[in-house]
Amino acid sequence: MSVRIKVLVVDDSAVVRKVLSEVLNSDVGIEVIAVAPDPIFAQEKMKKQWPDVVVLDVEMPRMDGITFLRKIMTERPTPVVICSSISQKGSETAMQALAAGAVGIVPKPGIGNRRAAMEDAGADLVRAVKTAAHANVRNLKSNSAMPPAVAMPKLNTDAILPAASQAMAQTTERIVAIGTSTGGTQALETVLTALPRVSPGIVIVQHMPEKFTASFAARLDTLCQIEVREAQNGDRVMPGRALIAPGGRHMLLKRNGSQYHVEVVDGPVVNRHRPSVDVLFRSVAKFAGRNALGVIMTGMGDDGARGLKEMHDVGAATVAQDEASCVVYGMPKEAVKLGGVDRSASLQAIPAEIMKYA
């Protein structure tokens, strides 16, 4: 029998602690070894038995979750999943937690009908904990990414967009498409903050729940020379701008003459994600072809691997983050296995790869 993932739940609500514990213990691969109402109590629990994963609230008495997270990452780096409100204040606080080294985030429902809502979101939490348990936290200097969406039928990209039938004619307008998941917020911050204002237009899918991408993009915008924003339908892709797909919606690249723009659409979950990297990459293959560079970075699963292969097959340049610098070497590994990667590069080398292509 395989060893179960040991989890510590830290939340000031007794109801939340009880429901989260029930949800996690219902999975045969997970065991909640302790619960605590705040970080002070949590530290006492951790002296007795150290968890594999911590599920952590951010707003608590005596010590807030972000301070506690920083303490954990300094003293004994351990995967942490944030369970946070999806209010504007909550999402901004959650972004600070990701910047402090959290691996993932699960939205916490509002006060009304909280117990039933949490039980409905149980699959998200279980998947987030299992993903976190595989994370290489040594590569989490300051940031991280999101858990995969709830398990459901694994549709492919055909559900959104047919494959490209031929390569687009090459132009001087270059596009960079980036896809990432677990560990991706740290990776994206490293890449985007290193780019000069004259960098090519960038389109990004980062697996992240609805309502969190706006805060994530706004935070990056304050750190980067380039403009970073959550994409809106019809936004133009242009030099010096990075557009991040909104959580809960797919983003596709489209072309009108010599100009590129994005289309933000609803649609079924693809590869268990919405937004899906495969959907973005296929649209880039279809409408940009040889005019594009595809970059696949740290993340669990295989979303984006097939789309990157499609980009490669129509003449786009393709790069994968290497194993040594990934938090989770899942998506890049699958892309390499499919033969869709021209070369692998460390996280620190990816900005140079982008500018070399431009």
Of 314, 333, 313, 312, whose CA–CA distance to 323 is shortest? 333
As beta bridge partners, residue 254 has 261
The span from the CA of 311 to the CA of 62, in Å, is 51
Catalytic residue status for 344: no
Pairing of strands 343-345, 317-321: parallel
- Across 267-280, b (16+ Cβ under 10 Å) vs e yields bebbbbbbbbbbbb
The span from the CA of 195 to the CA of 350, in Å, is 10
SS3 144: coil
Specify whether the CB–CB gap between 285 and 310 falls below 8 A: yes
- Please report which residue ranges of the chain form alpha helices under DSSP H: 14-25, 39-48, 65-75, 88-99, 114-120, 122-133, 184-193, 213-223, 277-287, 305-313, 331-338, 350-357
Q: Residue 298 CB: number of other CB atoms within 10 A? A: 32
Q: Which of 21, 91, 181, 199 is catalytic?
A: 181
Specify whether the CB–CB gap between 303 and 207 falls below 8 A: yes
Pairing of strands 201-206, 175-180: parallel
The span from the CA of 341 to the CA of 191, in Å, is 19
Q: Which of 38, 302, 303, 322 is catalytic?
A: 303
Q: Which of 84, 85, 91, 207 is catalytic?
A: 207
Pairing of strands 250-256, 259-265: antiparallel
Q: Which amino acid is at 33?
A: I
Specify whether the CB–CB gap between 264 and 251 falls below 8 A: yes
Catalytic residue status for 181: yes
Catalytic positions are 181, 207, 303
